[in-house]
Structure 1
């Protein structure tokens, strides 16, 4: 029996839990997160999306067949043509203009994670790249589900961050997460124990960098 995505999270369970249940996430769900922390996160997440699009361009280059090439193309196109526009509009509701976003300097945590993803993709193959991206793509969906099932999570108008939770618990995002998990499951089923150990290191490092991305918002607010 081969490996699955769940084996990656199990091998990195402490870091994965620290990421999913980070203080930033908990405060976001409790509606106690400082607005300055969320604004800083939103701005840096805009820059992250741009690098995410670059990662999909790299995925296209790394693709082995037409199906993988189409997946990479559609991913990049969705980010560039849809998600970035939606993010700009969402930021506007928090008093952040598109001009503000265009002038942003990258925080160290943003540079660390995005460059790690791109470097991993350059050095490795498509599986390395998508494992490095998994804490973001799969993790946000898992975080939304965790928050949704948590007794202390505040929903509706009483929580200014409810729209963020709703976005990642939406049917569309949850399906995208399920599709990515299925792709990873199929590829991980074919790897050797030695290769899985390499991928576990990639996943753990990427998860730790995502933890730093959450912490960046709290540190900025403080």
Structure 2
């Protein structure tokens, strides 16, 4: 699938191109195909939902770190707003979990999977060790990737629309609001690439982006393994 997010020649598209194999393995993982076709086992999705909430706890910490490392007052305000929105989303996540037979107590009593720990602590490590660009690159496959995943699902000729139990999940990430968020994140990465020396740091940034895509694919597989 040709990239539709970011600018031609910009940092995001260059990173995505350099990680093509890992990116495709992430964005069109069998878990994602199961969402599109409505064939994903319920146990796999339930496992994903619980771990996704636990992931969001650490993602919120990463957003707070991004606010701390923000390069300007406007960026700080934007990150603070994004953090507040994420915290609200986490509360709504409980309601969505309940629709799948998972109570708030169930979620809070579940330990983090090894894949959740590996991914989230790695992102926080990259953010602590580097600057705002290092952190944004580590976060990009999650924020931007879900936008592209939704586009791939919508374009999939085998997509099940009527009676697909995962249609509400698909619509969430297909929505204009989320697509705009993903687009803004890609463009911000392009701007940071210019302002923070992305060209001379490309090899390091590319390794970060590629590893994040690999860890995202492992997160899908973690969910799929619950149904094995």
Shorter-chain TM-score bucket reads over 0.9
Q: Give yes or no for the alignment of 1:70 onto 2:77.
A: yes
Equivalent residue, structure 1, for 2:39:
32
Return structure 1 stretches of 4+ with deviation > 2 angstroms.
1-4, 189-194
Partner SS, residue 37 of structure 1: helix
TM-score relative to the length of structure 1: 0.96
With the length of structure 2 as denominator, give the TM-score of the two structures: 0.93
> What is the total number of aligned residue pairs between the two structures?
220
Moved more, 184-193 or 197-206: 184-193
Q: Deviations over 1:154-210 (max 9, x none)?
A: 113x10001100000001100111111111111223425430111101000111000
Equivalence for 2:208: 202
Aligned ranges 1:183-222 → 2 under 5 Å? 183-190=188-195, 191-222=197-228
| DSSP 3-state at the match of 2:57 | helix
1:58 is aligned to 65
- Give distance in 1, aligned partners of 2:113 and 2:217: 14
8 A Cα contact 1:34 1:221, kept in partner? yes
Q: Which secondary structure does the structure 2 equivalent of 1:96 belong to? A: coil
1:98-143, Cα deviation, whole Å (9 max, x unpaired): 1111111000000000001000000001111111011100000100
Cα distance in 1 for residues equivalent to 2:9 and 2:19: 18
Gaps of 5+ in 1: none
In structure 1, what is the equivalent of residue 3 of structure 2? none
List runs of 5+ in structure 2 lacking aligned partners.
1-7
- The 5 A counterparts of 1:151-190 are 151-156=157-162, 158-190=163-195
